[in-house]
A = this chain, B = another copy of it.
Amino acid sequence: MNRNQLGALLHPSGIAVIGASDDPNKIGGRPIAYLKKYGYRGKIYPVNPKYAEVQQLKCYPSITDVPAEIDLAIIAIPGAHVLDTLHECGRKKVKSVIIFSSGFAELGEEGRSRQREIGKIAEMYGMRIVGPNCQGVANFSIGSLATFSTTFAEGQLEVGPTAIISQSGAVSAMLYNIRKKYGRGSKYWIGTGNEADVNVAELLDCIVDDPDVRVLQLYMEDVKNAGALIAAAGKARERNKPILALKSGRTAEGSQAAQSHTGAMASEDIVFDAVFDNYGIVRLDSVVELAVFSQLFELPNRPKGNRVAVITNSGGLGVMLIDHCKEMGLELARLSEETRQRLAGVLPAFASVRNPVDVATHFLNDRELLAKLLPILTADAGVDIVVIGLGVVGRGYDVPAMIEHIVQYQGNNDAVVAFLGVGCQDDVIASFSRSGVPAFDDPVLCVKAISKYVAYHLDRREAQEEKAATHGATVKPALPKTAGFLSEYEGKRLLKEWGMPVTREMLCADEEEAVRAAATIGYPVVMKISSPYVQHKTDIGGVELNIRDEPQAREAYRRLMENGDRHVGKDNIDGVLVQEMITDRGFEISLGVKRDPAFGPVVMVASGGIYIEVLKDFRLLVPPVTKAKARKAVESLIMAPLLKGARGKKAFDVDALCDAIVSFASLVTQTDAIEEADLNPVIVREQGKGVAVVDCVLKLTSEGA
């Protein structure tokens, strides 16, 4: 990626508009009108062979006639002429291009092929190209509105500390407009369309460096550059610049629609969950959440915890807020005795000095009420967040005074104050919001925003505290030389070298050896056929369980060899694996690998047995997998309560399980050698007794070999 070229896109000192129109309502006319309207100070070069002047500006017959270097060219001509024009731009050494024109990947195979051409042209000339089929790129701080979005046809620009980076210009426009109603603005406004070259992740990675940007608001249907996304997320977390993302195409049907909308690639949605979770990207569930939750994330305040105190004028609203808080993982702050006494000192007798603090009508009597309540509540070490949840704020409420008290207060304190107004007079919410107080009109959105905000900060603190645990061994163990499936024995040797506990076992070439091995390991034992050609051993009668003595062992050996010979031929059998049988109580886990087209190998941790089938009880882990992340994944399994020792039994050895997961993850993600893996079952024994991989199927990639 060439940063300078994205720089020319985001901070252009001169913009050409190819297909310029004198009509400010035409696609080729709008960007010129916007650039003029919003005070762009750079040069504007209309290009159109039909005109000498466009919107009072000199017009050039072609891009090559423009007598200057061009940072950014907008292409607003029919799709059929786009490729030729791009070559012209390339020859003119235009640094970046935005293609408004449609008629590419969104139209099927022929269009996809022409779109691939665009990518090649970008590479050929070292020219960065946004689009095709996009609404453009705007940097409000310099008035460079290289867009035809009708959103900017009227009104004032709302400039602010976020960047809206979206694959859909229409969604960017929705986000911008919703924010505008809250009196909030952005610095960047971007719709990348089909992403033949420049994509959302790359722009994110660039814009996260901009000191003016506090919060990044992404809309995406896929990711074209997973590396850039992850790099950007790392920087963003380091610098406390929250990335809020709406990734749509969550459902199979939505994902299909996304493919026909922007030609989205088919990463599984659950992988995004894991990636976002791992890199601290805040995933939101709707366009409204993406627009309004940002208010909280724009605050410099860092909540210490998740304990909420509520000030309300309605007992009913108080009850609702508590329900919403509890349901979204927030706790109700317990006010100290001292706090309650101090509250009683400033509130009338009819008010409640518990949490929620119900002041009833007292805002009507005391305009300084918030100035009194906020210091008391936030002085309580048990309070992390204050929600002022009021119904029907209108006549009699001194809104400017309330805002002043919150703003003053929030500026001098790490406690977070949010305003919720339900059924209020028309401009109440916007008044708060415009003044920097996060404000909401729906209790659910308010509480969910707080819950996401708190989770972001707690996660960020955790991430700072833990260093990504890398595998203990500085020299990586060697991988087997061959690609393809390993026998269980080979697989387990590999796992063991990477630090995973496996069952004690010996590979035996003949019956006598097997009998000696069984005696060494100690009865009861398990015996299994060993062959890289047999992945499903039980299907061919290749497993003998619970062998209790020598005669049984001899019998089992013969049966296994017979079955093996019948199915894969004697020559393809390595021998018989004699294995300890784990007879004590254990909990079954399975570990696997999922290979994502964008994000590469991802580790899957699942409850064993029927749970994974019926309950889909699994979690994904993306690298780097730390022990804390492993523990979080394990503890969020549906069956996790059983691991803690349900029914009064002893807990299972979760600690050893997490170590094993970290080891497995390092093998998977550090080597990229594992094409498929199914470690199943991994038996988690009682606390202190560790875990053991009992069976495994591993397939190596050719890269790994």
Contacts and interface: CB of A to CB of B under 8 A. Distances in A.
A314 B642 contact: no
A494 interface: no
A356 to B, nearest CB: 6
Contact of A422 (B174, B261, B325): B174
A258 B246 CA distance: 35
Nearest to A220: B316
A249 B326 CA distance: 11
A151, A323, A613 interface centre (most CB from chain B within 10 Å) = A323
Contact of A170 (B254, B391, B615): B391
A479 interface: no
Copies of this protein in the assembly total 2
Nearest to A288: B442
Given A151-B392, A288-B443, A257 B319 contact: yes
Contacts of A57: none
A262 interface: yes
Interface in A151-169: 151, 153-154, 166-168
Contacts of A175: 423
Interface residues of A, number: 81
A105 to B, nearest CB: 12
Interface string A91-116: 00000000000100010000000000
B323 A642 contact: no
A641 B441 CA distance: 40
A277 to B, nearest CB: 19
Given A174-B391, A313-B170, A423-B177, A320 B613 contact: no
Interface string A9-37: 00000000000000000000000000000
A133 B54 CA distance: 70
A588 to B, nearest CB: 13
A222 to B, nearest CB: 11
B170 A314 contact: yes
Interface string A316-348: 111110111111000010000000000000000
A464 interface: no
Given A262-B315, A316-B166, A173 B423 contact: yes
A285 interface: yes
Nearest to A177: B423
B641 A168 contact: no
Contacts of A253: 322-323, 325-326, 332
Given A251-B326, A647-B610, A170 B395 contact: no
Contacts of A642: 610, 614
A444 interface: yes
A647 B613 contact: yes
A638 interface: yes
A286 interface: yes
Contacts of A426: 181
Interface string A408-443: 000000000000001110100000000000000111
A368 B87 CA distance: 41
Nearest to A441: B288
A394 B443 CA distance: 28
Contact of A646 (B313, B444, B614): B614
A287 interface: yes
A221 B462 CA distance: 39
A208 B646 CA distance: 48
A157 to B, nearest CB: 15
Contacts of A356: 257
A396 interface: yes
Given A253-B332, A326-B254, A613-B647, A168 B395 contact: no
A219 interface: yes
A287 B424 CA distance: 13
Given A253-B326, A316-B219, A639-B614, A174 B392 contact: yes
B315 A168 contact: yes
A171 interface: yes
Given A170-B392, A254-B319, 15 more contacts: A174-B423, A248-B323, A249-B319, A251-B322, A253-B332, A257-B356, A261-B318, A262-B315, A286-B444, A287-B422, A288-B441, A288-B444, A613-B646, A613-B647, A614-B638
24 contacts: A150-B395, A154-B394, A171-B314, A175-B423, A177-B392, A178-B422, A178-B423, A219-B316, A221-B316, A246-B320, A248-B323, A251-B327, A253-B325, A253-B332, A254-B322, A254-B323, A260-B354, A261-B318, A261-B319, A286-B320, A286-B444, A287-B317, A288-B422, A613-B641
